[in-house]
Amino acid sequence: MISGFKKFIMRGNVVDLAIAVVIGAAFGAIVSAVAKDLIGGLIGAVFSTKRFQSASFTLNGSEVIYGSTITATLNFLIVAAVIYFVVVVPMNELARRRRAGEEAEAAEAEASEEVVLLGEIRDLLAARR
């Protein structure tokens, strides 16, 4: 049971996943800082709000905070864009290249079968003579 667990842990997929989680957490902190401090600061300057994340308005005596929602939306959009352009697009290209390579190998295998068949025909004709 322990050896099975050890094999599972040492698999490339698990190690890659662990690395991705750590890097993702660090990247999330960067994205959060960019959205909250940089972009939020710029938007706050436009709307004359000192801290955009706490930007709000009052409606019927109730405070409606919209800054944190916009900041969270910016976080999501930034992460989604980076994942799309850094992970999805390259993986799709890699899959396309693999499919093209497999098609080329299949065509090559078909050609080699024909060559084998022609060789057998040649050998049979040579044996008849």
Give residue 84's pLDDT band: very low, low, confident or very high (50, 70, 90).
confident
Task: Name beta bridge partners: 62.
Answer: 59
Residue 86 has pLDDT above 80, yes or no: yes
Q: What pLDDT does residue 104 have?
A: 72
Q: Which domains does the chain have, with CATH numbers?
A: 2-128 (1.10.1200.120)
Tens digits of residue pLDDT in 28-54: 888 888 888 888 888 888 877 777 777
- CA of 11: how far to CAs of 4, 8, 16, 54, 109, in Å? 11, 5, 9, 45, 32
Q: What pLDDT does residue 9 have?
A: 67
Classify 108 in phi/psi space as left (phi over 0), alpha (psi -120 to 50) or beta.
alpha
